[in-house]
């Protein structure tokens, strides 16, 4: 989710000792390597598709057995009053980092990533779009993961953050975006022995074919960010043709949705349109990037739109 500024700190604190006790009790088998093989990165899965040991983004989200055994962490998540998508404890080994990147996948178009540090030291720094912060244990942070960001753990100990994905309610966003009051006025959530609140999790969001309104939303967002990496008459011309191609694609997808609906009829025509637009875009996309983060426009089109138009 694109945000007006790189970082937001929320005026709420959590019991660090309770968090650390629950996380430290996890067995070794709870920790899985990073799905992309990033060295020194591992995670304990808390909310996943079907509650299984999975890194998938799409499907019915449910608590895992690890979250079931962490009563305070469930209270923390439930206390925000929002619906959670994929959520994990993310561990970063001493002396390593998370390489610079931007989160461009479809999953991130309408979701934000919330961070609550559990184990950390001042040597751990989070960088986003030229700004840098230390997220202290028990604090709550959001950041704009559409912008380029990276993490450095320059300490001699492991860093562990609770990292949870949500689109947020109106109350959540009013709370997150209001001016930060003095720290003495921040809310604190203590452990409530015996409490077992319901953690709200996302239902399966998929239709067989992506509705035309959502396609337009995604394409309009991409078109608004489109620019050229190196300015020239030829690059600007390709950018204009790329933009017109995307506009035409939305019209044609809407017509197919009008004819067939989104339940799965006419899949060959939807697939044919997707393929033809993909090929035409590849011929035009060289040197076209996103204005905010410099990511290749063709990569964004593929990962945020084309790969998610039809459920296989």
Q: Within this chain, do residues 97 and 219 fall inside the same structural domain, yes or no?
A: no
d(CA 88, CA 312): 26
What is the band of 155 on the pLDDT scale with cuts at 50, 70, 90?
very high
Percentages (nearest 5) of helix, strand, coil residues in the chain: 35, 25, 40
Instruction: From 118, 135, 122, select the one nearest 16 (Cα to Cα).
Output: 118
Domain boundary (156, 189, 222) is at 189
Instruction: From 282, 28, 311, 304, select the one nearest 145 (Cα to Cα).
Output: 304
**Which neighbouring-strand residues pair with 189?**
14
d(CA 253, CA 57): 24
Q: Within this chain, do residues 31 and 132 fall inside the same structural domain, yes or no?
A: yes
Whether 198 maps to a domain, the answer reads no
Q: Within this chain, do residues 57 and 126 fall inside the same structural domain, yes or no?
A: yes
Number of domains observed in the structure of the chain = 2
C-alpha distances in Å from residue 170, one per residue of 1, 81, 200: 15, 10, 16
Q: Within this chain, do residues 71 and 134 fall inside the same structural domain, yes or no?
A: yes
Q: Within this chain, do residues 185 and 216 fall inside the same structural domain, yes or no?
A: no
What is the band of 35 on the pLDDT scale with cuts at 50, 70, 90?
confident
**Which neighbouring-strand residues pair with 133?**
126
Whether 194 maps to a domain, the answer reads no
Classify residue 170 as left (phi > 0), alpha (psi -120 to 50) or beta: alpha
Instruction: Provide the percentage of residues in the chain whose pLDDT is more than 90.
Output: 95
Whether 200 maps to a domain, the answer reads no
C-alpha distances in Å from residue 162, one per residue of 10, 23, 174, 277: 15, 10, 22, 39
| 312, pLDDT greater than 80 | no
C-alpha distances in Å from residue 253, one per residue of 31, 216, 276, 297: 42, 9, 12, 20
d(CA 166, CA 108): 9
Whether 206 maps to a domain, the answer reads no
Whether 197 maps to a domain, the answer reads no
The mean per-residue pLDDT over the stretch 107-113 comes to: 94
**Residue 38 has what pLDDT?**
84
**Residue 301 has what pLDDT?**
98
Per DSSP bridges, beta strands 112-119 and 159-166 are antiparallel
**Taking the CB of residue 171, how many other CB atoms lie within 10 A of it?**
11
The mean per-residue pLDDT over the stretch 270-293 comes to: 97
Whether 265 maps to a domain, the answer reads yes
Whether 53 maps to a domain, the answer reads yes
Is the distance from CB of 1 to CB of 111 less than 8 angstroms?
Answer: yes
Q: Within this chain, do residues 230 and 153 fall inside the same structural domain, yes or no?
A: no
CATH of the domain at 32: 2.60.120.330
Q: Within this chain, do residues 113 and 75 fall inside the same structural domain, yes or no?
A: yes
| 201, pLDDT greater than 90 | yes
Domain boundary (189, 221, 245) is at 189
Q: Within this chain, do residues 114 and 223 fall inside the same structural domain, yes or no?
A: no
Q: DSSP character for 169?
A: -
- Taking only Cα atoms into account, the Rg of the chain, rounded to an integer number of angstroms, comes to 21
pLDDT single digits (tens) 210-262? 999 999 999 999 999 999 999 999 999 999 999 999 999 999 999 999 999 99
Whether 207 maps to a domain, the answer reads no
Q: What is the model's pTM?
A: 0.94
Q: Within this chain, do residues 177 and 289 fall inside the same structural domain, yes or no?
A: no
Token couple for 199: 């953690």
How does the average pLDDT of the chain come out, rounded? 96
Q: Within this chain, do residues 152 and 266 fall inside the same structural domain, yes or no?
A: no
pLDDT single digits (tens) 156-188? 999 999 999 999 999 999 999 999 999 999 999
Domain boundary (189, 224, 255) is at 189
Q: Within this chain, do residues 249 and 290 fall inside the same structural domain, yes or no?
A: yes
Burial of 140 (0-12, 13-18, 19+ CB in 10 A): buried
**Residue 34 has what pLDDT?**
86
C-alpha distances in Å from residue 308, one per residue of 52, 203, 243, 305: 22, 17, 20, 6
- Of residues 206 and 312, the one with the higher pLDDT is 206
Instruction: From 118, 148, 149, select the one nearest 136 (Cα to Cα).
Output: 118
CA torsion sign, 98 to 102 to 104 to 108? positive
Is the distance from CB of 115 to CB of 65 less than 8 angstroms?
Answer: no
What is the band of 24 on the pLDDT scale with cuts at 50, 70, 90?
very high
Q: Within this chain, do residues 252 and 103 fall inside the same structural domain, yes or no?
A: no
| 36, pLDDT greater than 90 | no
What is the band of 131 on the pLDDT scale with cuts at 50, 70, 90?
very high
Instruction: From 152, 155, 154, 120, select the one nearest 135 (Cα to Cα).
Output: 120
Per DSSP bridges, beta strands 226-228 and 288-290 are antiparallel
Domain that includes residue 265, residue range: 212-308
């Amino acid at each position: 989710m694109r945000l007006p500024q790189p970082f937001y700190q929320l005026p709420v604190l959590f019991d660090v000792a309770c968090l650390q006790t629950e996380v430290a009790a996890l067995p070794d088998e709870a920790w899985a390597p990073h799905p992309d093989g990033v060295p020194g990165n591992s995670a304990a899965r808390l909310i996943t598709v079907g509650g299984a040991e999975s890194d998938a983004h799409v499907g019915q989200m449910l608590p895992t057995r690890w979250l079931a055994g962490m009563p305070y962490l469930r209270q923390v998540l439930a206390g925000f009053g929002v619906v959670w998508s994929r959520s994990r404890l993310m561990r970063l080994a001493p002396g390593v980092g998370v390489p610079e990147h931007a989160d461009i996948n479809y999953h991130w178009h309408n979701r934000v990533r919330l961070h609550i540090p559990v184990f950390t030291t001042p040597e751990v720094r989070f960088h986003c779009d030229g700004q840098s912060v230390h997220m202290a244990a028990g604090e709550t942070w959001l950041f704009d993961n559409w912008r380029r960001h990276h993490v450095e753990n320059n300490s001699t100990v492991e860093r562990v953050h609770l990292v949870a994905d949500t689109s947020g309610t109106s109350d959540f966003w009013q709370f997150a975006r209001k001016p930060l009051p003095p720290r003495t006025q921040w809310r604190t959530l203590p452990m409530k022995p015996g409490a077992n609140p319901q953690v709200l999790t996302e239902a399966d969001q998929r239709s067989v074919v992506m509705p035309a309104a959502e396609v337009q939303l995604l394409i309009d967002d991409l078109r608004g960010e489109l620019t050229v990496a190196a300015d020239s008459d030829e690059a600007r011309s390709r950018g204009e043709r790329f933009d017109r191609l995307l506009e035409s694609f939305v019209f044609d997808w809407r017509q197919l949705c009008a004819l067939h609906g989104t339940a799965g009829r006419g899949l060959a025509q939807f697939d044919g349109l997707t393929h033809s637009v993909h090929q035409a875009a590849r011929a035009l996309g060289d040197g076209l990037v996103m204005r905010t983060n410099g990511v290749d426009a063709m990569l964004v089109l593929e990962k945020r739109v084309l790969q998610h138009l039809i459920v296989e």
